[in-house]
Amino acid sequence: MKQALWKMFVNWEEELDQNEWYFSDCYEELTRNLSSSDAFEAIPDIIFVLLAVKDTYLVSETLDFLDTVYNIANTTEIHPLLREEWRNINQHIHRLGDD
């Protein structure tokens, strides 16, 4: 999942100029056959990418994707890594100046 997200972010601005649904289409492709357990297991990869991206737009898109994957996971359980990294995620968002 991590590699797929990074690949999706390459030339994202050009892709978005050509297709306003670029991210939505990519997310759909990434999650099409994802079971709830696979979705839950993918959460750490998404968190890793979230903490590594430096563009506020990509942070927002990654957060949206994390929400999508959580919906597919269909659980109220907070992933242990999300609980562990919550403060770092908030600090990362704050550093980039995004609400």
pLDDT band, very low/low/confident/very high, at 96 (cuts 50, 70, 90): confident
Residues 6+ apart with CB under 8 A from 19: 25
The whole-angstrom separation of Cα 2 and Cα 84 is: 19
pLDDT for 25: 95
**What are the structural domain ranges in the chain?**
2-96
What pLDDT is attached to residue 9? Answer: 95
Rounded distance between C-alpha atoms, residue 38 and residue 26, angstroms: 17
pLDDT, one tens digit per residue, over 32-84 is: 999 999 999 999 999 999 999 999 999 999 999 999 999 999 999 999 999 99
The pLDDT value recorded for residue 97 is: 72
